[in-house]
Amino acid sequence: MLLAASLQLFTASPNAWSTEACGSDQIQAIATEFRKIRTVAGHFNGADWHPEVDAYDGRKHQLMQVLAERAPEEGLGGECLALLLGEPDELTRVDTPTGASMLSQIEWENIGSTSGEELLTYDWRGRHDRLVFLIRDARTLAAGWLLSYE
């Protein structure tokens, strides 16, 4: 089942999913903190500057760096990522013009192949800088950054 259909199921019945089946205790703890800090609006979302969410190497950036490393290592599926981190800010099929464009711009942290099915994107600083997870066969293959370099 493709992730988009699974996310619809997740949204319809969130109690059917359990974070206990998704990743190590470490990634669950990081994800819990990320979900909380993700709700803080920063400069790139029209609010005041908040170093913990806006600054390079601020706490939100640090959490996302750990997630970028651990999700592929643990082979987390897209459903687990959505459960742990919340729904992605964008879900893109790789076989679309948008997906192909994104693939060519992502700075991969740990890449073996870009032959995935879907891209789950989580905003770091608005849509300026974003973390992208490449998913294939219900598994995270790689993670990388879409950066605006402003």
Q: How far is CA 56 from CA 31, 102, 111, in A?
A: 19, 22, 23
pLDDT digits (tens, 9 = 90+) for 58-85: 999 999 999 999 999 999 999 999 999 9
Residue 13 is predicted with a pLDDT of 42
Supply the pLDDT for residue 148: 87
Arithmetic mean of pLDDT, 137-146: 91
Higher pLDDT, 113 or 131: 131
Q: Where are the domains of the chain?
A: 3-146
pTM of the model: 0.85
Q: What band does 115 get if pLDDT is binned at 50, 70 and 90?
A: confident
Taking only the tens place, the pLDDT of each residue in 10-59 is: 444 444 445 557 889 999 999 999 999 999 999 999 999 999 999 999 99
What 3-state DSSP class applies to 126? coil
149 dihedral zone (left: phi>0; alpha: psi -120 to 50; beta)? left
